[in-house]
Amino acid sequence: MAGKPKLYYFDGRGKMESIRWLLAAAGVEFEEEFLETREQYEKLLQSGSLLFQQVPLVEIDGMKMVQTRAILNYIAAKYNLYGKDLKERALIDMYVGGTEDLMGFILMFPFLSAEDKEKQRAFIVQKATSRYFPVYEKVLKDHGQDFLVGNSFSWADIHLLEAILMVEEKKSDVLSSFPQLQAFKRRISSIPTIKKFLEPGSQRKPVPDDKYVETVRKVLRMYYDIK
């Protein structure tokens, strides 16, 4: 029997967090090795494990996988979270692409100056409420089902819940005008594997703090401010 997947990344969210979410939702236990020093990162580079010289890196089923979307695609397909046919997969890809774009606005937030953070916070909320959340609200209202695609729990649902929670950290009442998404959030959060992942003590990472930012900068030698 294959061992648990092993995740190589920082002790924080970043691009690895969606991978953690997907594995947890599938009920898959995983191990993590946190990058804390430049030497650890260089060792991975020298081993040839980082195909494009970057993390995330996930060891799974005898493979050393990089590129976040490739990793997520593999996990979703392996654990039947990727639709039943090509049409459903296409819809899942579209919906995940949208939430991925939204989360992209948040990814670099911890690395901004205090002034830029306030500007970016307003930008994130504006984009969420005017461009992204209305799409998912309409999808759920129009088909009247519990899930985004095929009335089956999929990667699209997991990714949307992750995005919702991330935006709520920027503005707690951001769903006030989206009743379908409020109900969706309650439903998906009550799924046993998701509920477990949302509980204290899970492998879900907290909002990135100064220590996380300092570690990433040190390991990747990011000596500049994000604009």
Which domains are seen in the chain, by residue range? 6-79+199-220 (3.40.30.10), 86-190 (1.20.1050.10)
Give the model confidence (pLDDT) of 75-96 as tens digits: 999 999 999 999 999 999 999 9
- Does residue 131 have a pLDDT over 90? yes
What digits encode the pLDDT tens for the residues 201-210? Answer: 999 999 999 9
Residue 58 has φ and ψ, to the nearest 5°, of: -130, 125
Query: Does residue 25 contact residue 84 with C-beta atoms inside 8 Å?
Result: no
Dihedral sign of CA atoms 6, 33, 24, 99 in order: negative
What are the backbone angles phi and psi of residue 63, rounded to the nearest 5°? Answer: -110, 155
Contacts for 56-63: CB closer than 8 Å, 24+ residues apart: 56/7, 56/8, 56/9, 56/14, 56/15, 56/16, 56/19, 57/7, 57/8, 57/9, 58/5, 58/6, 58/7, 58/8, 58/19, 59/5, 59/6, 59/8, 60/2, 60/5, 60/6, 61/2, 62/2
Pairing of β 6-9 and β 57-60: antiparallel
* CA-based radius of gyration for the chain: 18
Question: E strands, 61-142, where?
Answer: 63-66
Centroid of chain to Cα 156: 11
Tens digit of pLDDT for each residue in 101-124? 999 999 999 999 999 999 999 999
> Above pLDDT 90, what percent of the chain?
94
Does residue 223 register a pLDDT over 70? no
Residues 34-51: pLDDT tens digits?
Answer: 999 999 999 999 999 999
